[in-house]
Amino acid sequence: MDLLADQRRCAVAYGLRLVGAAAFTAALWLAGAAPAAAAEVARQGVQAVPTDATAYPAGVVRQPALASQCMPCHGPNGNSQNPDWPKLAGQRQPYLLQQLQDFKSGQRRNPMMDAVVVNLQAADLKTLAAHFHAQTRSQLPSPAARPPGAAVHPAVASCTACHDNAALPGTPDLVGQQQPYLAQQLRAYRAGTRKNAIMEPLAKGLSDADITALAAYYSTLAPAAPARSR
């Protein structure tokens, strides 16, 4: 059965991927006792969580227990495999913390995240924000012929002025984020279902075509060298 494709399609994924994560934990535990059995469980564990094979085993070993419960949706190392779900890896820490606090307080609503934060304490939110900030965000290959930002949309310069500004650490890093996720969030601000005093009025000025272009632009933008300020 194509577990990987199934997992990407529906929320049942959560349960299935937890089974995968549990299998992997079991593999670690078995490693001391029965190497052959452990190898088999590990093989199944890797299959159950779609990933790039090099990153996953290292990431799982390093994941604190708190963060491993995020992996089914946000992916190994915080790089979600589902384009509708955001990557957390490398995201600015104050922004991550603010979003977790907003889910917890009900300021930002999402059925999946609501179910997650209900079990987290204030200190857990800080630990998780620090953990995912420290992971490395995976990047999509940039298109060979990339038009300059201004050609994509006249607002790009103003978007980047906030979103790539070290002085505004509460502003999320958009570079390399999942494209459908970015578009979906811009539509949510435009519709007022995601509340934010800055982004709501800005998004109201964007057409569907603007949103598609901006999401495509940021999702494939190469990170600035040498190190982006986060």
Give the nearer residue to ligand HEC in terms of CB position, either 46 or 214: 214
CA distance 76 to 49: 8
Give the nearer residue to ligand HEC in terms of CB position, either 81 or 177: 177
Beta carbons within 10 angstroms of residue 80's beta carbon: 22
Instruction: Give residue for tokens 């299998």.
Output: 23
In angstroms, what is the minimal distance from the CB of 145 to ligand HEC? 21
In angstroms, what is the minimal distance from the CB of 168 to ligand HEC? 7
Residues 6 or more apart whose Cβ sits within 8 Å of residue 139: 175, 176, 222, 223
Give the nearer residue to ligand HEC in terms of CB position, either 46 or 91: 91
Give the nearer residue to ligand HEC in terms of CB position, either 37 or 114: 114
In angstroms, what is the minimal distance from the CB of 88 to ligand HEC? 6
For residues 123 and 163, the answer to whether their CB atoms sit within 8 Å is: no
In angstroms, what is the minimal distance from the CB of 35 to ligand HEC? 31
Give the nearer residue to ligand HEC in terms of CB position, either 40 or 228: 228
CA distance 37 to 60: 18
Give the nearer residue to ligand HEC in terms of CB position, either 42 or 67: 67
Contact residues for ligand HEC (CB under 6 A)?
A: 14, 69-70, 72-74, 85-86, 88, 96, 98-100, 110, 112-113, 116, 128, 155, 158-159, 162-163, 170-172, 174, 177, 182, 185-186, 194, 196, 198-199, 202, 214
For residues 137 and 89, the answer to whether their CB atoms sit within 8 Å is: yes
Greatest Cα pair distance in the chain: 61
In angstroms, what is the minimal distance from the CB of 39 to ligand HEC? 27
CA distance 33 to 157: 58
Helix axes 93-105, 122-133, angle to 10 degrees: 150
In angstroms, what is the minimal distance from the CB of 220 to ligand HEC? 14
